[in-house]
Amino acid sequence: MSAPTTVTAPATLPGLSRAFRAIAIAEACSWAGLLIGMFFKYVVVFNDIGVRIFGSIHGGLFIAYVVIAILTARRQRWSAGTIVLALAASVPPLFTLWFERWALRTGRLNSTVEAR
């Protein structure tokens, strides 16, 4: 598996790749909010309002991330390994941030593939 060598600046990414980046970042932020909500629920105030709010937000963004990852994978012609990595990154907290930065750096969110 050879890694693409063209790196595209985030501002010049086409629509689907830009949407993938936005959803990946939002999903990671919702994970952080959910973790903070869990901390408050189990350690500080024993109130689950933070978990109820961020749990719903995170659930929706998780589903959106999986869908946009599959769409982006098809459009960008990712290998099976990259697809598995993208989907696995949605499980541990904040790993979608790492994956989207890695994908951008290695050219997997390249505008030349999507333009075809």
9 in a domain, yes or no? no
Res 23 pLDDT > 90: yes
The parent domain of residue 31 ranges over 14-107
Longest dimension (CA), the chain: 54
If you average pLDDT over residues 12-39, what whole number do you get? 90
What is the DSSP-derived secondary structure letter of residue 116? -
CA distance 54 to 45: 16
User: With contact defined as beta carbons under 8 Å apart, do 23 and 60 qualify?
Assistant: no
CA distance 96 to 87: 9
Number of domain units in the chain: 1
What are 36's two structure tokens?
A: 């903070």
96 in a domain, yes or no? yes
Res 25 pLDDT > 50: yes
pLDDT for the residue numbered 58: 94
* Residues listed for the chain: 116
Question: Taking the mean position of all CA atoms in its chain, how far away is CA 96?
Answer: 4
33 in a domain, yes or no? yes
Res 88 pLDDT > 90: yes
4 in a domain, yes or no? no
